[in-house]
Amino acid sequence: MNKNAGARPQQSILLPSTIIKNKWKVQGKIGQGSFGEIYAVIDLHTSEDLAVKVERLDDKKMVLKQEVIVIKQLQCMNMIKYFNNTYEACHNVIRYVHSGRQEHFNFLIMERLGDNLAELRKQCPGQVFSMCTSLRLGIQMIEALEGIHKLGFIHRDVKPSNFVMGPKNNTKKRNKAFLIDFGLARKFRLPSGEIRPPRKNAGFRGTARYASINSHHKRELGRADDIWSVFYAVVEFLKGSLPWMKMKDKDQIGQVKERETNPELVKDLPPEFLTFLE
């Protein structure tokens, strides 16, 4: 008998109308990340629409602290580049507003963006993006990753649902994809600037459908593994599916992925996809 049978689903962390730090009012739940929940909030002082990501203080694995570290460093790097007139990187990362702790939860306030790429693809005819859209999004995904790689972090959970479009009412941002959810991000450089020595068994990290083959083998991940995840995502954008899409077991997915990551996977796609494989 399943010991969890009949167990009540865990209640949401926040209720509508909850006030955070006397400044942000919760409007409703809008999503669920790999770790934690996401709510729409409004700034009671400025009326700005924002989002908050929260995690319980009694969660076995709390990752919001790491996410805050990465986002704040990215924002700091953007400001330095702006004042040095070299403002060319990290445009595609969500804007940090505030973070802290209240009662039974940690929280991260950030800008509120639009739908994620997984949702948007499913809304398209045939559940595919056009070639132009797929390539444009792929470039933006890589540009966002370039920003965190320059900081010495790898994301380790690159997937369409972790990229969201800018708000529809913002003409500068609505056609841009933003990287979110840095809960699994990890430093790959030491303070000296050298690459961290790989662990013998790093465990599986990521989402099985898009994870690199290295992740399935529990190897230490690097920047290339983030890019492999972009590759699988863009193939899915164009074809509507991946050969292992309906599988649940990550070990089985890894076996099929090793077998199917070959020229047949990119058949009828531009030759650059085959070049990437080779």
Active site residues per annotation: 157
Rounded CA-CA distance 208/162 in Å is 14
Residue positions forming the annotated binding site for ATP: 53
Cα 112 from Cα 71, distance rounded (Å)? 15
Known binding-site residues equal: 53
23-50 burial: b if 16+ Cβ within 10 Å, else e: ebebbebebebebbbbbbbbeeeeeeeb
